[in-house]
Chain A
Amino acid sequence: MALRLGREAAGARPRAETVRWSRRTPVLMILPAVVVLAAITLFPLLFTLRLTVLSWELTTGFPPQFIGVQNFVRVLTQDPRFWNAMANTGVLVAVGVGLQAVIGTGLALELNRLRRGRALVLSLLLIPVMIAPVIAGFQFRMILNDQYGPLNYLLDALTFGRVRGFAWLADPRVALGAVMATDVWQWAPFMTLVVLAGLQSLPGELLEAAEVDGATGLQALRRVTLPLLLPVIVIGVLVRVMDTFKLFDIVYQLTGGGPGNVTETIAYYTYLQGFKFFSLGYTAAMSFVQLVVITIVAQVFLHYQKRVRGGAVA
């Protein structure tokens, strides 16, 4: 179909200039975008690559020095803080995105049962998804305030003083949980949206057939609905994995990486190295490691995207 448009045009009007137009126009049409994208993405990429082999500490005033792969050696083998940040990010990705998927899918299944007002409820649930993460962080900073916040008050009042709240943002035992809660609050509705779209594209006959065959609600869910939804859930999860891997705004607004380093994510640590400690070469090496991880996940996403588009679901 793609080339047909050009060929038919050429066949109908066999003038030379029409043929030339049809070959050149499509290229001219992508040119501005490709030039702009190359300038703003390839350039930083190459620049980053160049930086990775340099020792360039702005704070010392020494000129940049070539040090080969030493930055990578340091990142991967000598920097416990990098691995701490990786581990924190890993927890946020594994547990946080997992929770988003479970809560989101559960809500989508319930929402799908609703006969009236579904669109309204969904719109309201999606407000957290739409607002800026930094504003979400600000909201949770007020709610989690250990002295004046409503959460600790409600915990106290509803349990008649039997449950004591935490200093959520200052207690190392729960601070990462607080960051995760904010992210889950913000993005679980996104999973609801995605799964609901998948549910509504499922053929109704399948579920009816399962019911005729005597499947209980739970069996139908486990054996029919969830397997059919799986590709859509995977797409949603991959989008969230990529975003959560870059989590920065919420950490910045909520904890600043603290207490100690317990909520420091990889994006936040990279920011500190680059814009607080001004270790340019080292920051570039860390950025590059993240780029590799993201690229791998993105490839999986693209693979699934093709499958979902080509397949039956959504």
Chain B
Amino acid sequence: MRRRSPARRLVTGLVLLAALVFFLFPVLWMVLTSFKSNPEFFAYPPVFIPKSFALTNYLNAMRLPPDGRGGLQGVRDSLIVSTGSMVISLLAGAPAAYSFARFRTGGENLSFWVLSTRMFPPVASALPLFLVFKSLHLLDTHWALIVANTIFNLPFVIWLLKGFFEDLPAELEEAAVIDGTTIFGAFRRVALPLVAPGLVATALFCFIFTWNEFMFALLLTRSDVRTLTIIVPSLVGGHEILWGQVAAVGVVAIIPNILLALLLQRFLVRGLTLGAVKG
């Protein structure tokens, strides 16, 4: 490694410090706001540090109108929909990924078709889905959102896991097959445990994609199902905006994301570029 002059190192330090301030300040501001009373929000000059760090806004936000469940309903619905789509995508996607990786089933065209469905503009599929779910009486149900999100999660799972399986040497599975295991057995008992870390990362990515999803939630649900991403903007649209409480919902909504940013670091490049860059 080359040696750096102290001045150059100082520049690096300052640049990164400025970057951290810039990229974390909006998040920090939301956290601070979640503890502010309404007069504190509307003060000028703005209050940076709220007087009390009581959880009043959080407790009130969980009991928000119209039905008195508010934030709590958001947490529940976001959890159900994210978990549901994740499970379906993994169940259907993992065997398919293995088949693509080991047997090139359907050739390159089929696997590229799978990937291209992931690029679909959601606004293009929203309208047909809306009409179908309406006629099936599935609007405003968890199923509507689970299915809609699977459009993006399933190709993601297939494409990412395909890369993980391809990284695995085939010898172990071949040995298992020679010893009399079926191909499915080799997949389930040999290959799958070996890609376990990648599998967990893929699952968590799916979870977060659905957790963050907004357009389908906006168009396919109304009142029975309200994810956290729906609750936040709906509260900002009203007449009297209780900023502290909305911010509290916002903070609750980003807790899993922050945890996963720390947990997933090894896999982030791969997940976010659809496996194009391995890192």
Residues of chain A touching chain B, judged by Cβ–Cβ distance below 8 Å, are 1-6, 8-9, 12-13, 21-22, 25-27, 29-30, 32-34, 36-37, 40-41, 43-45, 47-48, 51, 106-107, 110-111, 113-114, 119, 121-143, 147-150, 153, 157, 185, 188-190, 193-194, 197-198, 200-201, 208, 211, 232, 235-236, 239, 242, 245-246, 248-249, 252-253, 267, 270-271, 274-275, 280, 283-284, 287-288, 290-291, 294-295, 297-298, 301-302, 304-305, 308-309, 314
User: In the assembled complex, which residues on chain B have CB atoms less than 8 Å from the CB atom of A208?
Assistant: 2
Which of these, A41, A185, A197, A211, contacts B26 with CB under 8 Å? A185
**Given A125-B20, A132-B211: A148 touches B43 (CB 8 Å cut-off):** yes
Q: How far is the CA of A110 from the CA of B30 in the complex (A)?
A: 28
* Given A142-B29, A194-B273, A271-B219; 8 other pairs, CB 8 A cutoff: A9-B183, A48-B127, A113-B12, A125-B19, A125-B20, A135-B30, A198-B277, A271-B123
A6 and B183 within 8 A (CB): yes
Main secondary structure of the interface of B (DSSP, over half): helix
B45 and A314 within 8 A (CB): no
User: In the assembled complex, which residues on chain A have CB atoms less than 8 Å from the CB atom of B112?
Assistant: 302
A-B contact pairs, 12 of them (CB 8 A): A12-B177, A26-B99, A27-B99, A41-B151, A48-B127, A111-B16, A113-B12, A139-B250, A153-B45, A185-B26, A298-B119, A302-B116
Q: How far is the CA of A125 from the CA of B148 in the complex (A)?
A: 30
User: In the assembled complex, which residues on chain B have CB atoms less than 8 Å from the CB atom of A232?
Assistant: 277
User: In the assembled complex, which residues on chain B have CB atoms less than 8 Å from the CB atom of A291?
Assistant: 120-121, 124
User: In the assembled complex, which residues on chain A have CB atoms less than 8 Å from the CB atom of B150?
Assistant: 36, 40
List which B109-126 residues lie within 8 A (CB) of chain A: 110, 112, 114-117, 119-126
A37 and B155 within 8 A (CB): yes
B102 and A5 within 8 A (CB): yes
Q: Does B76 contact A (CB under 8 A)?
A: no
**Given A153-B44, A253-B236: A107 touches B243 (CB 8 Å cut-off):** no
A308 and B277 within 8 A (CB): yes
**Given A33-B93, A111-B16: A139 touches B30 (CB 8 Å cut-off):** yes
Q: Does B212 contact A (CB under 8 A)?
A: yes
Determine which residue in A9, A106, A197 has the highest number of CB atoms from chain B within 10 A of its CB, and name it.
Answer: A9
Which of these, A106, A127, A141, A280, contacts B127 with CB under 8 Å? A280
Q: How far is the CA of A197 from the CA of B271 in the complex (A)?
A: 13
Q: How many residues of B contact A (CB 8 A)?
A: 112
A-B complex: 6 closest residue pairs judged by Cβ atoms = A287-B124, A33-B96, A197-B279, A132-B212, A44-B128, A29-B95
B265 and A189 within 8 A (CB): no
B277 and A134 within 8 A (CB): no
Which of these, B99, B123, B218, B229, contacts A132 with CB under 8 Å? B229
Which of these, B23, B119, B257, B275, contacts A189 with CB under 8 Å? B23
User: In the assembled complex, which residues on chain B have CB atoms less than 8 Å from the CB atom of A302?
Assistant: 112, 115-116
User: In the assembled complex, which residues on chain A have CB atoms less than 8 Å from the CB atom of B183?
Assistant: 5-6, 9, 21-22, 25-26
User: In the assembled complex, which residues on chain A have CB atoms less than 8 Å from the CB atom of B98?
Assistant: 29
Against A, the Cβ 8 Å flags (1 = close, 0 = not) of B1-43 are 0101000110010011001101111110110010000000111
Which of these, A2, A36, A47, A253, contacts B92 with CB under 8 Å? A36
User: In the assembled complex, which residues on chain A have CB atoms less than 8 Å from the CB atom of B257?
Assistant: 127, 130-132
A239 and B158 within 8 A (CB): no
Q: How far is the CA of A107 from the CA of B19 in the complex (A)?
A: 8
Q: How far is the CA of A6 from the CA of B115 in the complex (A)?
A: 26
Q: Does B224 contact A (CB under 8 A)?
A: no
**Min CB–CB distance A133 → chain B (angstroms):** 7
